[in-house]
Structure 1
């Protein structure tokens, strides 16, 4: 098995596990952000450049979602 396949399999397994166990959408998005960031840091040296670009794009996308979640929660607290 190639490292890229192992990373994809671990991300898929973590996603399914989180989908089954987590009820909140916000928590699900944050856990996926952590998963993508950890996968990028741990396997970034071993995966090809194309896969790294896709993984970085996913991290940025979920980081934007995380910022939106934090802003919305902060506005809830301030009200």
Structure 2
């Protein structure tokens, strides 16, 4: 059951980080199609993963633990990369 929330939370964190990175790029360099797609894609990922976390049944979640941990590690690396970019 906890893997369900770790998976969807990791996707939401990834989407938020990508969206924030896109917004920061738009504010620094101006809007462009790739930046707009980053913001829309990141926001969409947050919305869909949050929706699934609240409307799906955790007992029906059937993803292996190693896959969930790989997604969580990816979310952590994305978040770290965006944080380094912001602080640099």
Report the TM-score, using the length of structure 2 for normalisation.
0.43
